[in-house]
Structure 1
Amino acid sequence: MAAEWRPVRQSRTHELVLESIEAQVLAGELKAGDRLPPERELAPALGVSRSALREALRVLETIGVLVAHAGRGADAGARIVRHPDDALGRLLRLHFALGSYSLENVLEARVTLERSSFEAAARSATDKDLAEAEEILTRLREPGLAAAEFNDLDTRFHVQVARGSGNDLTSTLTAAVRESVRPLILRALEAADDWPATAAALNDDHTELLRLVRAGEGAAAADLVERHIRGIHGTLVDEAAAGDGAA
């Protein structure tokens, strides 16, 4: 069924455009993969200016539910998508930087999410999930790996195991929470007195975590991932507390 577009009120116009598009999605009239009408058609159908429409579409791009391609042809225009991972990570990182959440909040959220995801992965992960996690772990073990690349791969490893839990929302939230502290964790890794030893110790945990998931030992994997997170992440919390005390 084609979506039906109705004019919206003029106050806070772009927000009302957002509400109209959201209503179409919630009603099932717009689904992932559907294209919005061209701006020249959609703006008058909604009774708004094209600038207000563009503002609303930019918001939808930012939150990861729409992608827009300029130009002409089959790929041109705006299309509804499902890309929540990057969008949630970006928003959470900004809110963390603005002080909306403390390091302690983020630490406890990570612990809760990853205990759940590793325990579930031990029950539900497929051979493909495990093979992809092993591939990431192989790259993490490469000698001479710089802290920045290690940090990226470390994030991918944890998110990959979360995907193996079979819960898409858990993996998305795990990625967002881990992404929110990526710069801080990178600084902690770069400040390590003995980076090769630090990387080796972290990889010992990664190796054992993957073994436990493969063996179906979910409770043990959950306990180890909590210790693993509280190690590097807990250090950041301690440093922040020490900084507050010094101030």
Structure 2
Amino acid sequence: MADEPRAWQVVLEHIEKDLLSGVLKPGDRLPGERSLAADLGVGRSSVREALRVLEVLGLIRTASGSGPSSGAIIISVPGGGMSALMRMQVAARGFSVADLVDTRLILETEVVSKLARATTPHDLEPSHRLLAAMESTDLSPEEFLALDTQFHLSLAEALGNHVLTATMAGLRSSVEGYARQGLAGLASWKTTSLRLRHEHRAVSDAIAAGDAKLARQAIRAHITGYYVESGLPGSGQPVTDSSPEEN
């Protein structure tokens, strides 16, 4: 079969079509390999390749044997596949630090603004635990920055927007990477880490006070401050914030 090396894409497109039309939904079991191969006119090896792709993307889980839990089953893991694709895309394209910072400003100013304006408070306990963990003076710079990045992600998770969370999760490794790269340009990690702790608390306090404008200003100063202080590439250029100011 001339198109056999790409036949797995036929399987993916077929499953995507069934998901979009509602024929398949989370919890449904996919037809067996032999049935899919026969119905779509592809080899069983192509079916297996397509199933491996879907499993890596977090769209199905597979189990051998027989019974209700066996075979390939559609699962719902919000953002799992999107995050994986975003991480690979960022790694492959090598996006500039300036672009990453710009993207963070667009996303995170909106996150903290919505959290602050929420009429029903969101669960920020995970974020508060991360703030407490960052108070430890025994942390290495790398450990601190890992917690720092997780704190920012936890705010998006608290908001509950799965697409936004998946996007930020996909950017996480690159954000942490440029933050670690910037360590070499700091005059004093002790001084910088104290400032970062204070800035994190300022963001958290502004959200708790329901002050969306202050929360936006705090997160913007926090993100751009480290970027400029560490002298990362492009940090001498203005970083935009296209979002409107809150009243």
Shorter-chain TM band: 0.7 to 0.9
Of the structure 1 ranges 22-31 and 176-185, higher mean CA displacement relative to structure 2 is found in 176-185
| Cα pair distance change 1:87/1:198, threshold 3 Å | farther
Aligned to 1:4: none
Find out whether 1:231 has 2:231 as its counterpart: no
CA RMSD of aligned residues (A): 2.8
1:117 corresponds to which of 92, 111, 127 = 111
What code does the residue aligned with 1:65 have? L
Q: Deviations over 1:172-210 (max 9, x none)?
A: 222223333322222324764433332221111111111
Aligned to 1:64: 58
| Cα pair distance change 1:90/1:232, threshold 3 Å | farther
TM-score, normalised via structure 2 length: 0.80
- Alignment gaps of 5+ in structure 1: 1-8, 243-247
- 1:240 aligned counterpart, secondary structure: coil
Find out whether 1:199 has 2:199 as its counterpart: no
- 1:37 aligned counterpart, secondary structure: coil
Find out whether 1:138 has 2:146 as its counterpart: no
How many equivalent pairs are there? Answer: 233
TM-score, normalised via structure 1 length: 0.80
Find out whether 1:147 has 2:150 as its counterpart: no
Aligned to 1:55: 49
Identical amino acids, percent of aligned pairs: 33
Contact 1:118 1:213 in 2 (8 A): yes
Aligned to 2:207: 213
| Cα pair distance change 1:162/1:144, threshold 3 Å | same
Contact 2:58 2:77 in 1 (8 A): yes
- 1:67 aligned counterpart, secondary structure: strand
What code does the residue aligned with 1:240 have? P
Q: 1:144-183 maps to which residues of 2 (within 5 A)?
A: 144-183=138-177
Q: Distance in 1 between matches of 2:212 and 2:17?
A: 41
Q: Distance in 2 between matches of 1:125 and 1:190?
A: 42
| Cα pair distance change 1:172/1:191, threshold 3 Å | same
Contact 1:124 1:166 in 2 (8 A): no
- 2:124 aligned counterpart, secondary structure: helix
Find out whether 1:42 has 2:36 as its counterpart: yes
Q: Distance in 2 between matches of 1:29 and 1:232?
A: 49
Q: Distance in 2 between matches of 1:59 and 1:124?
A: 38
- 2:61 aligned counterpart, secondary structure: strand
Of the structure 1 ranges 91-100 and 155-164, higher mean CA displacement relative to structure 2 is found in 91-100
Q: Deviations over 1:39-59 (max 9, x none)?
A: 243333333212101211222
- Note the C-alpha offset of 1:78: 2.2
Of the structure 1 ranges 155-164 and 189-198, higher mean CA displacement relative to structure 2 is found in 189-198
Q: Distance in 2 between matches of 1:231 and 1:87?
A: 32
2:233 corresponds to which of 223, 230, 240 = 240
Contact 1:89 1:179 in 2 (8 A): no
Q: Deviations over 1:12-42 (max 9, x none)?
A: 3111111100000000121223222332433
Q: Deviations over 1:64-101 (max 9, x none)?
A: 32233455555443222333545434433333333363
Q: Distance in 2 between matches of 1:239 and 1:124?
A: 35
Aligned to 1:95: 89
